[in-house]
């Protein structure tokens, strides 16, 4: 099967997300040694780097420790389905969204397999609005889902406009 050129963009976005995610985690583990010190005040109280071993999914949800392998398999399955979807996608926004979600899922799976948990460290909880500590992969997944919704809305709107034009 020949891979469409546009699908490479999704895989490129995924690779970019994985690299940025893993490099930032390596930095907080080895460079900052955040695991030992626990917290670095960056812009108190708005933004800090805080060590969290997330045994759940995005933002620490569903943190039952026994779910490690189940969550890993699920994320790999999602990434595989997204990779397959990218082969059929034909819109830039959709390709970008797929790449972000796929890269974020793989980035977190790498941690879960290596450590038994996902390394989270971006902490905006001091704002009182967003209490979760998260990472680059979580952000990419969230951005990707927002882009998927936006793509769906724009595609539906374009279809309705096209249908209205045909009726005229």
Residues classed as catalytic: 120, 138
CA distances from 139 to 30, 89, 105 (A): 22, 22, 11
Sheet of strand 118-123, all strands in order from the earlier edge strand to the far edge? 39-43, 47-54, 118-123, 133-134
Structure tokens at 90: 């034909």
- Return the structure tokens found at 39: 């917290």
Q: For residue 109, give the nearest of 49, 25, 35, 39 by alpha carbon.
A: 25
Angle at 14 between CA 77 and CA 58, to 5 degrees: 60
Question: Quick one: DSSP state of residue 43?
Answer: E
Q: ω into residue 45 within 30 of 0, thus cis? A: yes
Q: SS3 of 70, please?
A: helix
Q: Which residues pair with 65 in a beta bridge?
A: none
């Amino acid at each position: 099967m020949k891979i469409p050129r546009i699908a490479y963009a999704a895989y490129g976005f995924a690779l970019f997300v994985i690299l940025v995610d893993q490099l930032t985690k390596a930095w907080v583990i080895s460079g900052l040694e955040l695991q030992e010190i626990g917290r670095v005040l960056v812009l108190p109280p708005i933004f800090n780097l805080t060590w969290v071993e997330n045994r759940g999914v995005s933002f620490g949800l569903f943190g039952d420790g026994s779910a490690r392998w189940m969550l890993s398999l699920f994320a790999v399955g999602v990434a595989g389905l997204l990779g397959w979807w990218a082969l059929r996608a034909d819109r830039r926004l959709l390709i970008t969204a797929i790449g972000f979600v796929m890269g974020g899922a793989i980035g977190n799976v790498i941690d879960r397999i290596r450590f038994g948990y996902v390394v989270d460290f971006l902490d905006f909880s001091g704002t009182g609005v967003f209490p979760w500590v998260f990472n680059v992969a979580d952000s990419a997944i969230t951005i990707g889902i927002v882009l998927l919704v936006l793509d769906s809305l724009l595609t539906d709107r374009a279809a309705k406009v096209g249908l209205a034009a045909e009726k005229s």
